[in-house]
C-alpha cells in the first residue's frame, strides 16, 4: 500500500481516500518515468514503468529509513 501512496505523493501531494485501480496506479508510476498519458498514447511501455518505479522505490526507501530513525 505504501508504494501506490508514494506514487501519488510524488505527483499530486495527496493520495486519494479510496484505493485506486491497478491501471490507475500503473499509469501514475509510468508518468513518473516520463509517460505523458495523452488520449492517443495507449498504454505505457516497460522503460517508462521501470523509470517511474525506480523513483517510487527510492522514495519508499527514504520514508522507511526516516521511520526507522523516528524522523516521521
Tens of pLDDT, residue by residue over 9-26, are: 888 778 788 888 999 989
Place of cell 491501471: 23
State the angle between helix axes of 46-68 and 22-32 in degrees (0 to 180), rounded to the nearest 10.
Answer: 90
Give the predicted TM-score (pTM) of the model: 0.80
The reported pLDDT for the residue numbered 45 is 97
Q: What average pLDDT is seen over the chain?
A: 89
In the chain, the number of structural domains is 1
In this model, does residue 55 exceed pLDDT 80?
Answer: yes
Grid coordinates standing for 28?
501514475
C-alpha 69/C-alpha 35 separation (Å) is 34
Q: From the CB of residue 28, how many other CB atoms can be counted at a distance below 10 Å?
A: 22
Measured distance CA(72)–CA(65) in Å, rounded: 9
Give the mean pLDDT of 37-54: 95
Task: Give the domain range for residue 37.
Answer: 2-68
Amino acid at each position: 500500500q505504501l508504494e501506490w501512496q508514494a506514487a501519488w505523493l510524488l505527483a499530486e501531494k495527496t493520495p486519494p481516500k479510496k484505493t485506486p485501480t491497478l491501471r490507475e496506479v500503473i499509469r501514475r508510476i509510468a508518468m513518473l518515468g516520463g509517460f505523458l498519458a495523452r488520449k492517443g498514447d495507449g498504454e505505457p511501455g516497460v522503460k517508462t514503468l521501470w523509470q517511474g518505479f525506480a523513483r517510487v522505490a527510492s522514495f519508499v526507501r527514504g520514508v522507511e529509513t526516516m521511520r526507522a530513525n523516528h524522523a516521521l
